């Protein structure tokens, strides 16, 4: 029942399952994982596709012959295991050249190199079928505030995204760009730290229609924010182009934990929101297995992400179709009908007449203040659904 299927549109970054467990305090614990093997295993587990950074597939210093061989094998694997590449991105953070950022680096040569690398990576992504192109800022930020004028950084980022949008248009690519915010790490502070910052930035670009968001659970939780509300705002604006699902234990370093392994209640409401809003983009897991795991543990991790999503989807459906929940919600939202028609008029826009009517109306603040909302009852119903006793 919870077994993932292709139509669930679950995807994994090649970098997620191939994560070798390196952290600032310890070296790799797992051998490299061949992209072909990842495609095969993920397909067997029920995933729909894979995403990659240019260098997850083609090593930074690969020769043209190596590149051709890797590409040929990878395309064959996609075909053999019926997997797609809905999304691609650029690694603009690993090589030492990017230690001060990429599009916002102070060195103009670094900024130009970042554009070149991204255009080539866009070509590669499109060649493999990508329809969404992710931009995670990586090292776009500062350690010392003295190092850069933050207003210049915003302008440089805008120039880069505008340039690359034109590149996509000029080549006739069917590709949308998805910007991914993160508050910090690896830099002490990253520019465009949250969904809200990024959303505001999008509307200052030359081609806002083709630019949206790729929010990540862990990244908003690092700032102590409500991910569900951020996603709601992105959805409402038609800007949820992609999503990075994982988990995180509150505001600390980016943990990229297995989806739904920590914040079960928020993830329940997240899945409910995505499903009820009809989000039909890829559901991408950007997480990795604990450092304690061997390859078997990696597949346990991947299967767990997808299974938990489907369990939460099932629970959300049960919650929404529970008569006790429906009844309670109907009462809660009922309110006093005498004022409802006015609100409908407000929704349709301002008129002098309506403003005067509202100003002259008689409200009963005392009664409004005495109302009990029954949210304790409602929340307990949610908890009982999550805990599986209803």
List Cβ neighbours of 143 (8 Å cut-off, separation of 6 or more): 187, 188, 189
Kindly give the interhelix angle for 35-45 and 295-321, rounded to the nearest 10 degrees. 40
Residues that bind Mn ion (rule: CB under 5 A) add up to a total of 6
**Is 286 one of the binding residues for Mn ion (CB under 5 A)?**
yes
**Is 227 one of the binding residues for ligand GLT (CB under 6 A)?**
no
Residue that has been written with the tokens 């919650």 in this structure: 319
CA gap 374, 71 in Å, rounded: 58
Per the annotation, the verdict on 56 as an active-site residue is yes
**What does DSSP say about strands 87-89 and 49-53: parallel, antiparallel, or unpaired?**
parallel
Contacts 24+ apart (CB under 8 A), 271-277: 271/309, 271/312, 271/313, 271/316, 272/312, 272/316, 272/319, 272/320, 273/228, 273/231, 273/232, 273/235, 274/231, 274/243, 275/313, 275/316, 275/317, 276/316, 276/320, 277/232, 277/235
Please list every residue from 217 through 236 that binds Mn ion, using CB under 5 A. Answer: 218
For residues 164 and 218, which CB has a smaller minimum distance to Mn ion in the complex? 218
**Is 56 one of the binding residues for ligand GLT (CB under 6 A)?**
no
Closest-CA residue to 318 (of 219, 216, 375, 388)? 388
CB of 359 to ligand GLT, least distance (A): 50
CA gap 337, 167 in Å, rounded: 54
Collapsed DSSP state (helix, strand, coil) of residue 282: coil
For residues 41 and 53, which CB has a smaller minimum distance to ligand GLT in the complex? 53
- Annotated catalytic residue, options 53, 221, 284, 385: 53
Per the annotation, the verdict on 244 as an active-site residue is no
Contact 97, 103 (CB under 8 A): no
From ligand GLT, Mn ion, none, interface partner of 242 (C-beta below 5 to 8 A by class): none
HEC per residue, 149-181:
CHHHHHHHHHHHHHHHHHHHHHCCCCCEEEEEC
- Mask: binding to ligand GLT, 294-333, rule CB under 6 A, as x and -? ----------------------------------------
CA gap 263, 227 in Å, rounded: 11
For residues 178 and 316, which CB has a smaller minimum distance to ligand GLT in the complex? 178
Contact 220, 190 (CB under 8 A): no
Phi/psi of residue 3, nearest 5 degrees: -60, 125
Give the range of 190-198, 240-248, 302-310, 335-343 binding Mn ion by CB under 5 A. 240-248
CA gap 244, 69 in Å, rounded: 30
CA gap 342, 126 in Å, rounded: 51
Q: Which of 48, 52, 136, 301 binds ligand GLT (CB under 6 A)?
A: 136
Q: Which of 58, 134, 168, 195 binds ligand GLT (CB under 6 A)?
A: 134
Give the range of 109-117, 157-165, 220-228, 253-261 binding Mn ion by CB under 5 A. 253-261
From ligand GLT, Mn ion, none, interface partner of 134 (C-beta below 5 to 8 A by class): ligand GLT
**Is 133 one of the binding residues for ligand GLT (CB under 6 A)?**
no
CA gap 61, 67 in Å, rounded: 10
For residues 88 and 316, which CB has a smaller minimum distance to ligand GLT in the complex? 88
CB of 185 to ligand GLT, least distance (A): 8
**Is 180 one of the binding residues for ligand GLT (CB under 6 A)?**
yes
**Is 262 one of the binding residues for ligand GLT (CB under 6 A)?**
no
Q: Which of 43, 87, 89, 118 binds ligand GLT (CB under 6 A)?
A: 89
Q: Which of 54, 100, 247, 256 binds Mn ion (CB under 5 A)?
A: 256
What six digits make up the tokens of 88?
Answer: 């691609």
Collapsed DSSP state (helix, strand, coil) of residue 122: helix
- Mask: binding to Mn ion, 54-93, rule CB under 5 A, as x and -? ----------------------------------------
Q: Which of 244, 266, 269, 325 binds Mn ion (CB under 5 A)?
A: 244
- Mask: binding to ligand GLT, 12-31, rule CB under 6 A, as x and -? ---x----------------
From Mn ion, ligand GLT, none, interface partner of 15 (C-beta below 5 to 8 A by class): ligand GLT
Residue that has been written with the tokens 């970054």 in this structure: 13
Catalytic residues: 53, 56
Point out which residues bind ligand GLT (CB under 6 A): 15, 53, 89, 134, 136, 180, 216, 244, 254, 286
């Amino acid at each position: 029942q919870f077994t993932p299927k292709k139509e669930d549109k679950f995807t994994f970054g090649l970098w997620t399952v191939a994560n070798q467990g390196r952290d600032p305090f310890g070296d790799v614990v797992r051998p490299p994982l061949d992209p072909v093997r990842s495609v095969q295993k993920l397909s067997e587990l029920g995933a729909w596709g894979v995403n990659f950074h240019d260098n997850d597939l083609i090593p930074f210093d690969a020769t043209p012959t190596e590149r051709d061989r890797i590409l040929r094998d990878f395309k064959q694997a996609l075909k053999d295991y019926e997997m797609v590449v809905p999304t691609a991105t650029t690694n603009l953070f690993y090589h030492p050249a990017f230690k001060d950022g990429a599009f916002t680096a102070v060195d103009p040569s670094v900024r130009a190199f970042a554009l070149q690398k991204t255009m080539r990576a866009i070509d590669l992504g499109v060649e493999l079928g990508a329809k969404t192109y992710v931009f995670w800022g990586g090292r776009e930020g500062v350690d010392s505030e003295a190092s850069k004028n933050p207003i210049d950084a915003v302008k440089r980022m805008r120039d880069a995204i505008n340039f690359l949008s034109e590149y996509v248009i000029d080549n006739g690519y069917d590709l949308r760009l998805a910007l991914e915010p993160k508050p910090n790490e690896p830099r002490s502070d990253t520019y465009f730290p949250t969904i809200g910052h990024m959303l505001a930035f999008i509307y200052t670009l030359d081609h806002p229609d083709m630019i949206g968001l790729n929010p990540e659970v862990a990244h908003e939780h690092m700032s102590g924010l409500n991910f569900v509300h951020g996603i709601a705002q992105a959805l409402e604006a038609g800007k949820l182009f992609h999503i990075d699902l994982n988990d995180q234990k509150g505001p600390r370093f980016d943990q990229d934990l297995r989806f739904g392994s920590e914040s079960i209640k928020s993830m329940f409401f997240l899945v409910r929101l995505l499903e009820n809003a009809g989000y039909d983009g890829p559901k991408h897991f950007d997480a990795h297995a604990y450092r304690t795991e061997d390859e078997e543990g990696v597949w346990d991790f991947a299967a767990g992400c997808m299974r938990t999503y489907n369990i939460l989807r099932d629970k959300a459906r049960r919650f929404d179709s529970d008569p006790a929940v429906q009844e309670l919600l109907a009462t809660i939202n009922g309110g006093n009908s005498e004022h409802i028609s006015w609100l409908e008029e407000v929704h349709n826009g301002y008129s002098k007449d309506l403003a005067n009517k509202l100003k002259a109306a008689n409200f009963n603040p005392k009664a409004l203040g005495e109302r009990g909302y029954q949210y304790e009852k409602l929340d307990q119903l949610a908890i009982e659904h999550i805990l599986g006793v209803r």
